[in-house]
Structure 1
């Protein structure tokens, strides 16, 4: 594309670009010219552009080259676009507090070539992308920057990277390494869009702190440069929405033309690991696939508005306008986007549409965030109401009352039931809102101050994703009459599998707890408020009203408990099969009947926060001491702290056998709590062979199961695929069969999700999307890795396929 001549014009993607000073040397140590740089970007574009598309690009330019190291070269760091930028370069506007910046998006080879002409050797991008309307989307990747301090190098970075890989893989974010082209290593891990930039930053920070706690001699998570000597600084701040990271396959402005190069984990283990230069990278991509391809964006395509200005702000009224014609409805339909703001208006409207319901609206970010409440706001603290989130409404709707014509969206009479202002105590988008309403003396709230919590159910898809619960809190739910917000969420710590033989030699170093046959739950207490959150992040509060009632009696300002929900049989033995009757229920009537028939127990085994103080850094014995003091006796007949077996593995295993439990968990004395990590300081020892599996298909039943599911085909995720491990037909109760029939009916697909199903098992199989997780027991694994005599224990609604791996 570019020659070694000093100047020429080229046509790229239909755009004429004038290239000048092509023979200028930009890397004196290697004689690399601007023509070489432009040529590199032309050859690497096919794999590089997918990592740039839809991302705001900031550029570091070395117009006179990087120099020879004898003096500091001239460097320009450009964020917004300068005058003279070609009009065909796609750009988006990001509105800052006191000004607007226009950022280019590098979505084609022409733009990449133009940047090469400007000697923009480095291209930096954030972890988020722009959406079609120019809105900033949630981050789609997590990035950790491993930066070696004085006295350490790339080998030490690779060692820390492997430690981070273990943690990230365990929590479902398998990373890919990138040698940065500078001194260290970047780790890229995929995100599913459920976290915002602040939440992703917090995940990265906690991971960095956990590694620092485990390896204080080599890892630091501290920003101060004075403490980095002899250590690898694990920089978690790259996930901040305002931060950027050098893009994969970008050149670096170093003395030599090195590249931020995606690598394989096998390469990271090589003793001669080093940074790669651009010629080496070109040879690699010609022969091997991009190791980071799975995290690349869509194939870049020219946008119809290329070169036009896009604004990176969400017009939150777009959906509202699309559903209304201002010529046909008296409702306010503003033509301009909301201006934002931090108002405190609330309104509850009585809406006589096809069915009577109440619209609960709170001013937030310049709009009225809205929920439809079919039965109206609850007036009793024990009565939770369904609230279905609807489209955002304009602020003008707060005073709207009138008749919407029949045939129009929401046709019917609207009256203001109550309105006024609210105090905001907590607002976590898509998860939880806590407010205190101050209405009118003659309003529907009776002139009383009322505190409400809106809690997203966190489950389902389609319409179910919009479902929340509206809960009336006690008038003075916490000390001083103030609403106490829930503590920050803590990801549960996980145990590593072990055998008794691996523990026996050092058994005095551990305390032993029973491995309860239930589902993991992290419990959040604030005053008399209660939240139950599963390991997968699902809010289970509404599903266990019997536990909520008992936990409300715990006398504490705030606390976070790590626990297991169980249901016991007539002999008092926890039975996962009985617990299945409580899982996946959503209708209040079904939940109430199940709670009466199969009452739940909560086995609490750790205390992670108490009255505003985090305890995750405290040793195991101290956390246990504080837990025993908080819960010295069973609460409400349902919440208890089971005893431990200190240093006596044999007694713990004997008790587990007597109770017919799965086994025990060994917890090392002095160990800290490591949120979200599968750590070796907790070891799980199983008495029964059990395995979590992913359902990928089913076969029809015969005889008494005719017309229903007869067996499920299951697998275990391995190396990016789903390995088939067998067919499970026994262990299903009549109720469990009905539940499986309903769930499987919505998951059908035409192809097998497995790579290796035997013909005899696939003969009459119906394939499904591999999203359901279950647990089975079995006698042994056969030669090809199949489960022998598997028995279904039940669904694991608290886990996702990403959580499943071989137990042994």
Structure 2
């Protein structure tokens, strides 16, 4: 590449933008003599590929005004010297709002080179054309070698990660970072509407933890430097929505002008693998094209004018139909959504029409979504105001003040009562939560909740609520505290609910039915909600008034008192209001692993303990969390007869959760999207719940349908075989396998096979002590090969196994009248653990 020798300022035109380039012969890389002019020439040649992977992403810059031997400046915010034509977007942080450059065109890229920006760092998500942040479109793993490791070790880890990612239907592409390690990118094609940055980060974290557990001598997932000697850190954290990664094809501020360069997998097999210089990258790009081009598949659909996005262009049809532009000064808006900068806006307009009211409008998807507030914005969380949704308005209406002529639609005086920007926390069909920011009236958090039914005469009826938690409050979290639709549908009546006596015995929880594929295919997201299926112990949770403070009582599905076993869950008492007691809630006790995923095996270490000393010892090693998902009694009154949606809203109202208590939202999207999210998070499955259905305690209902990713079956343990039975090395202190049974439709135990894998040695020893021996087999039909060495046990212990398939239809249990070697059997069973919360009569075939 020829060196630019002129030191005189040059005015150039790039993409119709005039830029002045100065000090072109300044040396940026002393080791190679590479000048600013050469950097600008590189950026011009690499631009088509670099822009493909950096555009519409808020860029963080690293600048070296005096070259890489001088001081580096880390810059997020654009300053006053930035040309007005440089594209930008604003992001509100906790303490500030920053304007980030969008590297969308060659002119902007050239301006970055002129300002000595050598490194461009971007997140894994993009802004949409209307300015709204889009979901992440790619996953990244940063393979960072510790002391004593290098690129060969990173390449080895990359190959291991590739096998896992391909098993997840993701196709990873390698990039040597130009600094030390390797980046792996995978396009999230088809997941743009269902995944969040947190979800992708959790998947990446789990993958890193798995690699570490399988290859502890090579991989580490913990950021601590003391753990990284001779190993490769799989940095999963760059999938966080606030984190960035060096953009592909960006230069690095190292001694030499190396580049974050896409590579082939064959190159990673080269033992002499090294980082590439900018001249090599240009030669490869000309020869091979952009090796990273498939990565763009993750975002193309988001930016194209799809039918869904085109539909937003017609949102003003109702607005325009009600107005005559020749008779009213109101704006009529553009033909398509505006490409506005910055945070979304809101406006509240005082409207002296036939009746005084206030119009509340939020910028969303290119229009102002609007509600009429007859009594204005509420200022007291205890007083909710009516909100009536009206037609969407054009964005220009946010600055409209004036007189609408008498006789015209909305005739009267309009003035701006308040205006500013807002942070969106939730936007759903029936619920919106936003934090407003204005110089005139400060910041406040409001919730809008639809109270009318969709498609009915009252479908535009909402309420607007000022939440208990407000910006600046120190209340330990930002969980939703909006009122329930049930309250709203009753006109948001005030008053204290009557008190009732808590039930002497906790009710049995409602049970889900395993659904066949044909039934699942008919589920409509309009009628069904989809929740995570949690892998833990089901519990009915009572919060009861006490002498000094509330008391939490936990009861298992089988009626076992779990209160002393999980004392940390008493913390729930401090998360509810005394006015709402007594409370009866439904939930699941889970033990989370290091990735925040429920681990049934970890939960086993806390099970069946009642002595305080034993509980405290186990608690130091394994903590538990409580996930709440339904409400049965509130303020002493049963709410089981109300629809699911109302009970869930009531649950969100009465509990202000913080660790170890959680009240998670239902999953977004339809069943397929919910299952995909659950699968990527490596969770157990999904429970579909009919939105209008009541809660039926103690009954298995088709209003709740469960879907598991892995096949699991609860079983009754009827015996065990010693380790090495029949080999002459039998060890009667250790169980080699357990003999399993399941009740048929008449409650008769039927033999369904055995399980001998998935145990630790301590498990095998504990089984022998746990099972109560009996002299004879507690069931018929055990094949002689299994019975000859069996030790029989009383059929009173329930466990759970994972399995590959049944040998025949499990509906045929009992059809062979207990004949040996006949009947359905579980194949490839793997031990999961004891079900302390189940009784033998609770066990059913999971069809």
TM-score normalised by length of structure 2: 0.50
Q: Distance in 2 between matches of 1:295 and 1:145?
A: 16
Give 1:464's match in structure 2, choosing from 510, 519, 525: 525
User: Structure 1 281/287 Cα, relative in aligned 2: closer, same or farther at 3 Å?
Assistant: same
Is the 8 Å Cα contact of residues 445 and 469 (structure 2) preserved in structure 1? Answer: no
Is the 8 Å Cα contact of residues 604 and 642 (structure 1) preserved in structure 2? Answer: no
Is the 8 Å Cα contact of residues 177 and 188 (structure 1) preserved in structure 2? Answer: yes
Q: Distance in 2 between matches of 1:30 and 1:37?
A: 12
Q: Distance in 2 between matches of 1:241 and 1:54?
A: 14
**Cα offset, 1:214, TM superposition:** 1.5
Match runs of 1:285-434 below 5 Å: 285-296=285-296, 297-298=299-300, 310-311=341-342, 313-314=343-344, 332-335=358-361, 389=430
Q: Distance in 1 between matches of 2:450 and 2:339?
A: 40
Q: Distance in 2 between matches of 1:660 and 1:21?
A: 81
Larger radius of gyration: 2
Match runs of 1:600-611 below 5 Å: none
Q: Distance in 2 between matches of 1:629 and 1:470?
A: 35
**Cα offset, 1:186, TM superposition:** 0.9
**Cα offset, 1:437, TM superposition:** 8.2
Match of 2:169 in 1: 172
**What are the superposed Cα offsets for residues 429-451 of structure 1, whole Å, 9 maximum, x if unpaired?**
9xx99999899996699556999
Query: Which runs of 5 or more residues in structure 1 are unaligned?
Result: 68-72, 354-364, 372-387, 494-522, 554-559, 569-595, 607-615, 646-654, 670-797, 799-808
Match of 2:244 in 1: 244
**Cα offset, 1:389, TM superposition:** 3.7
User: Structure 1 665/474 Cα, relative in aligned 2: closer, same or farther at 3 Å?
Assistant: closer
Query: Once superposed, what is the RMSD of the aligned Cα atoms?
Result: 6.7
**Cα offset, 1:225, TM superposition:** 1.4
User: Structure 1 629/4 Cα, relative in aligned 2: closer, same or farther at 3 Å?
Assistant: farther
Q: Which 10-residue stretch deviates more, 263-272 or 476-485?
A: 476-485
Give 2:54's match in structure 1, choosing from 48, 52, 55: 52
Q: What SS does structure 2 have at the residue aligned with 1:115?
A: helix
Match of 1:84 in 2: 81
**Cα offset, 1:604, TM superposition:** 14
Q: What SS does structure 2 have at the residue aligned with 1:57?
A: strand
Is the 8 Å Cα contact of residues 2 and 38 (structure 1) preserved in structure 2? Answer: no
Match of 1:564 in 2: 711
Is the 8 Å Cα contact of residues 221 and 234 (structure 1) preserved in structure 2? Answer: yes
Q: Distance in 2 between matches of 1:120 and 1:525?
A: 47
**Cα offset, 1:416, TM superposition:** 8.2
Q: Distance in 2 between matches of 1:188 and 1:122?
A: 18
Is the 8 Å Cα contact of residues 799 and 832 (structure 2) preserved in structure 1? Answer: no
Match runs of 1:108-123 below 5 Å: 108-123=105-120
**Cα offset, 1:662, TM superposition:** 7.8
Is the 8 Å Cα contact of residues 712 and 801 (structure 2) preserved in structure 1? Answer: no
User: Structure 1 14/228 Cα, relative in aligned 2: closer, same or farther at 3 Å?
Assistant: same
Counterpart check, 1:542 vs 2:689: yes
Q: What SS does structure 2 have at the residue aligned with 1:88?
A: coil
Q: What SS does structure 1 have at the residue aligned with 2:256?
A: coil
Q: Distance in 1 between matches of 2:45 and 2:21?
A: 17
Q: Distance in 1 between matches of 2:67 and 2:102?
A: 24
Match of 1:704 in 2: none
Is the 8 Å Cα contact of residues 425 and 434 (structure 1) preserved in structure 2? Answer: no
Q: Which 10-residue stretch deviates more, 190-199 or 544-553?
A: 544-553
User: Structure 1 666/409 Cα, relative in aligned 2: closer, same or farther at 3 Å?
Assistant: closer
Is the 8 Å Cα contact of residues 22 and 33 (structure 1) preserved in structure 2? Answer: yes
**Cα offset, 1:218, TM superposition:** 1.5
**Cα offset, 1:270, TM superposition:** 2.0
Q: Distance in 2 between matches of 1:239 and 1:265?
A: 23
Q: Distance in 2 between matches of 1:31 and 1:525?
A: 60
Q: Distance in 2 between matches of 1:32 and 1:185?
A: 24
Q: Distance in 1 between matches of 2:493 and 2:180?
A: 68
Q: Distance in 2 between matches of 1:26 and 1:390?
A: 53
Counterpart check, 1:225 vs 2:225: yes
**Cα offset, 1:246, TM superposition:** 0.6
TM-score normalised by length of structure 1: 0.52
Q: What SS does structure 1 have at the residue aligned with 2:206?
A: helix
Match of 2:196 in 1: 196
Query: Which runs of 5 or more residues in structure 2 are unaligned?
Result: 305-334, 365-376, 391-421, 437-443, 533-538, 544-551, 555-569, 574-584, 601-624, 632-662, 667-673, 702-706, 716-744, 780-794, 804-818, 834-846
User: Structure 1 400/227 Cα, relative in aligned 2: closer, same or farther at 3 Å?
Assistant: closer
Is the 8 Å Cα contact of residues 237 and 243 (structure 1) preserved in structure 2? Answer: yes
Q: What SS does structure 1 have at the residue aligned with 2:341?
A: strand
User: Structure 1 15/436 Cα, relative in aligned 2: closer, same or farther at 3 Å?
Assistant: same
**What are the superposed Cα offsets for residues 297-326 of structure 1, whole Å, 9 maximum, x if unpaired?**
45999xx99999722x455x79x99xxx99
Q: Distance in 2 between matches of 1:333 and 1:239?
A: 39
Match of 2:122 in 1: 125
Q: How many residues align?
A: 539
User: Structure 1 258/15 Cα, relative in aligned 2: closer, same or farther at 3 Å?
Assistant: same
Counterpart check, 1:33 vs 2:35: yes
**Cα offset, 1:209, TM superposition:** 1.8
Counterpart check, 1:43 vs 2:74: no
Match runs of 1:430-509 below 5 Å: 446-447=497-498, 464=525, 467-468=528-529, 476=543, 479=554, 482=573, 486=588, 487=590, 490=597
